[in-house]
Structure formats: structure tokens, C-alpha cells
Amino acid sequence: MPDSVKIMTIVPPGVALKNPLVVALAYDGLCTFEFGVAVEVFGLARPEMGEDWYRFAVASIDKGELRATGGIRLAVDGGLELLEKAGTIVVPGWRGADAPVPHELCEALIAAHQRGARIMSICSGVFVLAATGLLDNRQATTHWRYTDQLQQRYPAIRVTPDVLYIDNGSVLTSAGSAAGLDLALHLVRRDYGSAAANSVARRLVIPPHRDGGQAQFIEQAVPKAYESHRLGQLFDHLHATLSENHSVASLAKFAGMSPRTFLRRFASATGSTPARWLLSARLIRCRDLLENTTWSVEKIAEQTGFGSASTLRHHFRTQLATTPAAYRKTFTPPDE
């Protein structure tokens, strides 16, 4: 690359994982899409992210060449010994909800977790985590087709069927295949901030954030094209006016619907209520401002519709288990 070419680093200086090595599991019968999620988010070279970006490896749990969905065959970097060095482990969709999980794999995952590694599952990969016992007495989710089976087989797990993903800190689970992208972007945001997550999402051409609590299975999105158009305009309006007060009546009027119809269509389109959707959108905007401006908490609260710093702090503690000041410090260079 010519010396005159400059690469803008998106990850804030001083923001680096203690262990950025991500190891994805591979096996005979590998679920290609879920595996591809891990490769796309954590495995691609991204020079704009700086030198502290994720490193990536693939660990096979089976010997020899592996077969994957779609007639693909692959050779990988190593075996379960790679988990000994991992900071994050990705378990793609498992080869079958009824397929046994090898004892050696369970032991390796438990040992990695005890050493401090985070483990995230995508779709039916939750059955691997469940077999380790690491999900006992925790909330977890998976594809809606498997939630009943997961709960029956592992009653110690608090299965939550109507969310996209659940972050328990060191153990994370996601719903169906595409929800793995949501969880992976959530992890990027948690590790490196919103600018990094937005950059990755932009390359993927997907929304940079869907709240984990959004319903994962919506039987019918917005049923008619004209309603989709009206709600699309509504979401643009809400993003542009987060600092203003909104009521169901005012939003229904903007969308050209009765309040009752509006609530039904809004829930069908988003899996959420207007109040919950607004809270999520405002918190996302707050995090962006905390990371990328020097505005006071008071000003951020005013600009995002919380009204006061105390209200903003309350929702930050309740929803994110931290304070605005602590969150901002995470993304502030040490010399500032």
C-alpha cells in the first residue's frame, strides 16, 4: 500500500480486548450459514479497525476432512487444543438437536470457560452449550423450532423463546441463523463500540443493531405494502425526533391509523411496543453520543428524549447494568 494512503482507524485508541482470538468450531456436517456468520464478522481482515482487531481460527472436533452443508469440504487450522488459547468461542448450529455432543468437546468448552473465554452459540449450537451445563440456571434462546425440545431436555435452563439473543456475559445464545449476525454485531459493539459495529454492519448491508429482546419470530410482518410504507416513514420520523415526546395517539395519527390498529401493526412489524422500541432507540443513540462526543450526560439526556440525567442513568443501569460515565470511560483513550 502506498505510504500516502491513510487508513482511518474506527476502533477508538486504547480499546482492545484482553484476548482477541475468536475460535469457531467446525465438525462433520457443519451448518454452513452459521459458520459463515463467524467468519464474516470475526474472520475477515479489516485494516480500518487497527491492530487490536479480532484474530480468527477454526477448530475441528472431528479428524480429517470435514463435510459441510451444500457439498462443501474443508480443512481447518487445528483441533480442540485451539480452545486453550481462545478469548471467544463460536458454536455454529449443531449437526442435529438429537445428535450427541462428544464428551471431549464438553470438557474443552468447560475448561475454556473456566479460563475466562466467552462462548456464543448460534441457532441449534445451543444444544452443545446445554450439554456442558454452562447454561444451567441461566436464560438461553435458540431457533423457535427447538425451544420446546431444549426446555424438555434441559429443564435447568430458563429457555426464553421470543428473543433474538441473550447475553449472559460469558455465555451468549442466539435464535435462528440470521439472529447469529445480530449477536455477533452485539459482541462487536460490546468489545469495540458502535462505530465499529456500524462499520461491520455497513459491509454486510444489514441494520447495525436489533435489540436482543425483539421478537425473533413474527408470523406476519407488516401485512400490506401501504402499511409498510407508512411505518417506514414513522421509523424515520422517530429516529429524527428522539428528543421529543411521543404518545400512542400521536404516533397512530402520524401513521394514519387508529390507536388500536397502530398498536397491532406496530407489534406485528417489530415484535415490540412503541415505548420499548423508543427506549431501545434512545439508548442506542445515547451510546453513540457517549462514545463519539464530549457532551455532558445532561445534554445527551436532553437530546435523546430522556429529559434528565437521572432518568438516563436509571435506564442505563436497568438496561445495560452500567452507568453512562463508566460506559464512556471504556471508549476513552487513556491519555484524554
* Residue 119 pLDDT greater than 90, yes or no: yes
Most confident of 59-63, 289-293, 327-331: 59-63
Of 204, 233, 259, the residue at which a domain comes to its end is 204
Band (84; pLDDT cuts 50, 70, 90):
very high
CA–CA dist 142, 158 (Å, integer): 12
| Domain that includes residue 297, residue range | 276-330
Return phi, psi of residue 19, to 5°.
Answer: -140, 100
* Residue 212 pLDDT greater than 80, yes or no: no
Stretch 52-60: mean pLDDT: 94
Residue 112 inside a domain? The answer is yes
CB–CB of 161/137 below 8 Å?
Answer: no
For residue 50, the model assigns a pLDDT of 85
* Residues 187 and 74 both lie in one domain: yes
Give the number of residues written for the chain: 336
Residue 335 inside a domain? The answer is no
For residue 218, the model assigns a pLDDT of 44
Q: Is 210 strand, coil or helix? A: coil
CA–CA dist 154, 156 (Å, integer): 6
* Residue 79 pLDDT greater than 60, yes or no: yes
Q: 291 versus 216: which is more confidently predicted?
A: 291
Residue 321 inside a domain? The answer is yes
For residue 47, the model assigns a pLDDT of 87
For residue 6, the model assigns a pLDDT of 35
Work out how many domains the chain is built from and give that number: 3
The answer, as to whether pTM is greater than 0.85, is: no
Residue 212 inside a domain? The answer is no
For residue 209, the model assigns a pLDDT of 64
Q: What is the CATH number of the domain that holds 303?
A: 1.10.10.60
For residue 1, the model assigns a pLDDT of 33
* Residues 235 and 294 both lie in one domain: no
For residue 269, the model assigns a pLDDT of 76
* Residues 143 and 76 both lie in one domain: yes
Report the relative pairing of strands 158-159 and 66-68 from DSSP bridges.
unpaired
> Out of 55-69, 83-97, 108-122, which region has the weakest mean confidence (pLDDT)?
55-69
Stretch 22-36: mean pLDDT: 94
For residue 299, the model assigns a pLDDT of 94
| Mean model confidence pLDDT for the chain | 85
Residue 215 inside a domain? The answer is no
Of 173, 204, 235, the residue at which a domain comes to its end is 204
Place of cell 462505530: 195
> Out of 107-116, 271-280, 301-310, which region has the weakest mean confidence (pLDDT)?
271-280
* Residues 62 and 129 both lie in one domain: yes
* Residues 264 and 287 both lie in one domain: no
* Residue 224 pLDDT greater than 80, yes or no: no
> Out of 134-148, 213-227, 259-273, which region has the weakest mean confidence (pLDDT)?
213-227
Of 170, 204, 238, the residue at which a domain comes to its end is 204
Q: Is 167 strand, coil or helix? A: strand
* Residues 81 and 229 both lie in one domain: no
* Residues 154 and 76 both lie in one domain: yes
